[in-house]
A and B are shown apart, each in its own frame.
Chain A
Amino acid sequence: DVKVTQSSRYLVKRTGEKVFLECVQDMDHENMFWYRQDPGLGLRLIYFSYDVKMKEKGDIPEGYSVSREKKERFSLILESASTNQTSMYLCASSLRSFDRRTPNTEAFFGQGTRLTVV
C-alpha cells in the first residue's frame, strides 16, 4: 500500500512563529509537491521538487520555503507564520516521467495538515 505521510494532522501556531510541515513518501518518487487547499480556491501549488535539493516555485510561494535533503522527505517551512496562512496543507508525490504513456504517473496525497495561525 503506497503511503504519503504528513507529520501532523492538526497544528495551531502563533503569528510570527517559524513552522515546519513534514512529508514522507515510501514510493521512491522523484516528484514531491506542497499545496494549500482553501474553499472556493481549490488546490494551489506552493512548491514543487523534482529531485533532491531541486525545487521550483509554484503559484503562491510567497511566505514559504521548502527543503528536500532526502528523496523521501519534503518539508514546507513558513518563515514567519501569519493568519492568512491558516489553511489545509496537502503534500503529494509522483513518479517522474517525460513519456505520457508511462503508467502510474498520478499523484498520491497525504492526509493533510490543518494549520491554524492565531
Chain B
Amino acid sequence: AQRVTQPEKLLSVFKGAPVELKCNYSYSGSPELFWYVQYSRQRLQLLLRHISRESIKGFTADLNKGETSFHLKKPFAQEEDSAMYYCALRAAGNKLTFGGGTRVLVKP
C-alpha cells in the first residue's frame, strides 16, 4: 500500500520569509513524487515532479529515500504563493495517491 502524509494543515509566513512544506511517504517500490498546487478558484495543477529536478516559481523539492521524504521549499515566499499544496505519489501501476494538503498563507 502507498501512503502520503503532510503533517501541517496550515503554514502562515510573512512575505520574504522561507517556507518549507513537509511530505513523507510510505511505499515499498521506487516512487515517483509530485507537488501539485491549487490557487483560489483554479483547478489543481502540477507544480513540480521529482524526476525533473527543476525549480518552478522558485520552489524546489528533493527526494530523500532514506527519510522517505519529499519536502517542498522556497527561500523567499511571495503573496502569490498563497494556495493549497498537495504532495502526491505515483506507484508502479500508475495509481496516484495524495496527501492531506497544506494551506500556505503568505502575509504582507
Contacts and interface: CB of A to CB of B under 8 A. Distances in A.
A109 B96 contact: no
Contacts of B49: 105-106
B45 A109 contact: yes
Given A50-B93, A105-B32, A111 B43 contact: yes
Given A98-B92, A105-B90, A35 B32 contact: no
**Among A33, A48, A105, residue most surrounded by chain B Cβ atoms (within 10 Å):** A105
Interface residues of B, number: 25
Contact of A106 (B34, B97, B99): B34
B45 A45 contact: no
Given A100-B51, A110-B43, A43 B94 contact: no
A106 B51 CA distance: 11
A43 B88 CA distance: 10
Nearest to A95: B94
Nearest to B45: A109
B53 interface: no
Interface residues of A, number: 29
B95 A43 contact: no
Given A105-B32, A105-B90, A106-B49, A42 B43 contact: no
B103 to A, nearest CB: 9
Given A106-B34, A109-B44, A50 B94 contact: yes
Contact of B30 (A35, A50, A100): A100
B96 A92 contact: yes
B70 interface: no
Interface of A: 31, 33, 35, 40-45, 48, 50, 56, 58-59, 90, 92, 94, 96-98, 100-101, 105-107, 109-112
7 contacts: A35-B98, A42-B6, A43-B98, A94-B94, A106-B49, A107-B88, A109-B43
Given A48-B95, A106-B46, A107-B96, 4 more contacts: A31-B96, A43-B101, A100-B30, A101-B51
The 10 closest A-B pairs by CB, nearest first: A42-B100, A43-B98, A106-B46, A109-B44, A42-B101, A109-B43, A111-B43, A100-B32, A31-B94, A42-B98
